[in-house]
Chain A
Amino acid sequence: MRSAIELKIGEKAIINDIDNTNPSARRILEVGFTPGEEIELLFKPVFGDPLAFSIRGTLIAVRSSEAKCILI
């Protein structure tokens, strides 16, 4: 399964699962990254990390190490 950090800028995907082994999994879920939701990778700023995703009508920036647990 791919993870959200492998998305290209402008690419959309549906969340399949959240990897519960990542320590940030719960916070990721709480801010709205739940299975079935559509996400889009929108921005990677200067240093390439964190990544800005569109989720549930808002923009959320997440470090790659944490976004790794969003499986698509």
Chain B
Amino acid sequence: MLTVTDNKLPLITLLGHPNSGKTTLFNYLSGKKYKTVNYPGSTVEYSISRILSRFEFNANILDSPGIISLIPCSPDEKLSVNYVYNHPKYGKTDLAVVTLDASQLSRQLLLVKQLIECNFKVIIALTMVDILNKKGIDISTTKLSELTGCDVVKIDGRSGEGIDELLKVIRINMNLLNENNLKHTLKDYDKNKIISLYNDIERIEKDVLFNIEPVVKDNELINIENANKKLNVLSGLSVNGHRKLDKSTVNIDKIVLHKFWGLIIFILVMSLTFTSIFWLAAPLMDLVDTFFGNLSEITSNALGDNLFSDLISNGLIAGLGSVLVFVPQIVILFLILGLLEDSGYLARGAMILDKPLAKIGLNGRSFVPMLSGFACAIPAIMATRTIQNRKERLLTIFIIPLMSCSARLPVYALLLAFLIPQDQPFIAGFSLTAIYIFSILSSLLIAGVVNKFTSKINSLKEKSSFIIELPTYKKPKLDTVLKNTFKNANQYVKKAGPVILVLSLILWVLTTFPRQNTELTSDNLTASNSLLLQNDSLTLEEMDSYDLSKSYAGMLGHFIEPVMLPLGLDWRVGVSLIVTFSAREVFVSSMALIFKVTEDDDEGKFQEGILNSMREAKNEATGQKLFTTARIAGLIVFFVFAMQCLSTVAISKKETGGWKIPLIQLFSFSILAYIMAFITVHGLKFFGIS
């Protein structure tokens, strides 16, 4: 027996093809208590857990990333394979449990054969036997066990059927471990070796599969003849039924992968996805927003009017709110992505888009990360790990910040509300769509340009590849999808949360300090403040504005004012743009703070308040209106391009393994944003729109 200490519990590694039911089995064995961790110094993720206590078993269980072979094809795959051999923290794999899709036996046995040849102790968990049965074929676990030399158990990770048997087998194997402690070996597989492995596999396949009559559904007429046929199990495999494709999948694909209808369906699916991200999430986001708004107000009232109260209510709670307000959108996006993926559609989407994306140096596999980028760049950048080619992966990471993430939505909403009368929501919706299409097109254009540019200076040609299995269509498993959605939302809050929170606190410090003497003396009165005093009505909100002008943030705003002037804007907008680097949506509250709007209980009135103040705002130097149609349009364009998100910079640094790419992103996108905004403002002026 292995010594069971906390440090070195036996390690069971789950292996298997993507879609072979590996994660379902892992979820079943680990319950909710798993943790997802990156391999040290890399981007490969694994989940680790203790086997649930109700199974009365003491072992760590590791969910490895889905691999189809022990010979890696990308740096990330290489790392995954290396850690199957020897995990830096949990040691070597004591037992490899391989999930094997019974309906895909011949293709998936390759990994099993490789593991056995490399001296791993393997247990086969046979999944999807029901799908095989539907094809009129069954599988003999005894024979498979005989021919492979490993224990074989039929399981259903969803219902838990067979799990007890699997654990029993694991336990028996664990006890045998010390007696024949094998050393795992590394092997190289060339063309002939793979072909000979497949020859072995085909012999096994012929022996273990046998024909049965297709399982008759309950609602079908069962006559005696049928019932008899069902019992009449044929020996051996007479026809190539196991090589037949799922009929309904082929029929669905006739439309989904159709030259014309395929495109229509793709556009339809995408539009529906986006519509739901925005319109389904909106009320939930309002709810979160209102909740934190109220919480902040209540806390502020309870703690009184002092610095500590301000820190808690305006710094901490408001910061927390700005993190959590995006959770609804992220949850909805991942829910839809999960449903699409589980049903089998995403692989088709990636396939449809591969050719156009390859033209600009991306890959069909860039499609899903780019799609996620519309919710939040952080999970999107993490999702690029599925792209094998490093150059394609880096380019995908590079353009993801250009996808209009959900943080830009409140900004667009405010600025569009300024431009478009409230009684014309249709035009507002149309303009918003136009902004999104504009952002997609320009990001693709930028990818193309960057690709051209980098291929010229970098002649290193890494092979670009797109080989993807198009899984059988099936009804998505809601519980699995929900679990993954929860996992992703959790990851967002944990990874982005602290950064946004800290930055919100820094912002609070910048806008609050240096503390000023509340008694105004004639010495520190600026011209504009004297003007305000002349009105004899220096309200509290006006005092706030005064504070801000003298705060560090205000100083910073004045410092960058020369940059804002060409856009026709002044320091106040400058401050707002600086603070948006903590999170873009802070723009709205910052504008409210600067343009002296007090938050009303009513959401609509709050926005109306900002809009009115913006309409009345005058340029301090010229006395003309500060916000014009052209300048607002310029601001919108600025937000389309600018990378005002330090969390994205941080995650980009982490995923690209250095500061180079995030810094290039930060500076080039910000400069581009400025230039494009300038062109917009002056271009519109040229056409007579000020």
Contact = CB atoms under 8 A, between A and B. Distances in A.
Interface string A7-27: 000000000001010011111
14 contacts: A23-B465, A25-B191, A26-B73, A26-B190, A26-B194, A29-B198, A30-B69, A30-B71, A42-B250, A42-B253, A50-B364, A52-B257, A57-B242, A59-B249
A50 B73 contact: no
Given A54-B245, A57-B244, 13 more contacts: A23-B465, A29-B198, A30-B68, A31-B107, A45-B257, A45-B352, A46-B260, A50-B355, A52-B351, A60-B467, A60-B469, A61-B354, A66-B465
Contact of B467 (A27, A38, A44, A45): A27
A32 to B, nearest CB: 4
A24 B253 CA distance: 26
Nearest to A29: B194
A65 to B, nearest CB: 8
B467 A62 contact: yes
Contacts of B257: 43-45, 52
Does more than half of chain B's interface fall in helix, strand or loop, or is it mixed? helix
A25 B348 CA distance: 23
B263 interface: yes
Contacts of B358: 63
B103 interface: yes
Interface string B458-475: 000001011111101000
B262 A31 contact: no
B356 interface: yes
A57 B353 CA distance: 24
Interface residues of A, number: 35
B104 A57 contact: yes
B469 A34 contact: no
Interface string B5-19: 000000000000000
Interface string B95-113: 0000000011011001000
B191 A27 contact: no
Contacts of B217: none
Nearest to A48: B355
B469 A59 contact: yes
A34 B197 CA distance: 10
A47 B266 CA distance: 13
A45 B347 CA distance: 13
A47 B355 contact: yes
A38 B243 contact: yes
A6 interface: no
A34 B155 CA distance: 29
B533 interface: no
Interface residues of B, number: 48
B195 interface: yes
B466 A34 contact: no
B355 A49 contact: yes
A58 B429 CA distance: 42
Contacts of A32: 106-107, 110, 198
A40 to B, nearest CB: 9
A24 B355 contact: no
A32 B253 CA distance: 21
A61 to B, nearest CB: 4
B317 to A, nearest CB: 49
Interface in B101-148: 103-104, 106-107, 110, 135
A28 interface: yes
B259 interface: yes
A2 interface: no
A26 B71 contact: yes
B243 A57 contact: yes
A59 B259 contact: no
Nearest to A31: B467
Nearest to A32: B107
Nearest to B190: A26
Interface string B385-407: 00000000000000000000000
Contacts of B198: 29, 32, 34
A48 B254 CA distance: 14
Contacts of B352: 45-47
A24 B463 contact: yes
Contacts of B364: 50
A56 B104 contact: yes
Contacts of B467: 24, 27-28, 31, 60-63, 66
Interface string B179-192: 00000000001110
Interface string B245-265: 100011001100111101100
Contact of A57 (B103, B195, B347, B356): B103
Contacts of A45: 257-259, 262, 348, 351-352
Nearest to B69: A30
- Identify which of B104, B107, B254 gathers the most chain A CB atoms within 10 Å of its CB: B107
A68 B107 CA distance: 21
Contacts of B73: 26-27
A58 B110 contact: no
A59 B245 contact: yes
A62 B250 CA distance: 17
A54 B135 CA distance: 16
A50 B466 contact: yes
A34 B195 contact: yes
A45 to B, nearest CB: 5
Contact of B469 (A26, A31, A43): A31
Given A34-B198, A63-B467, A66-B465, A58 B245 contact: yes
Nearest to B253: A43
Given A35-B195, A45-B257, A47-B355, A58 B466 contact: no
A24 B358 CA distance: 16
Interface in B328-363: 347-348, 351-352, 354-356, 358
Contacts of A56: 104, 106-107, 243
A23 to B, nearest CB: 4
Nearest to B242: A57
Interface in B349-385: 351-352, 354-356, 358, 364
Contact of B253 (A35, A59, A60): A59
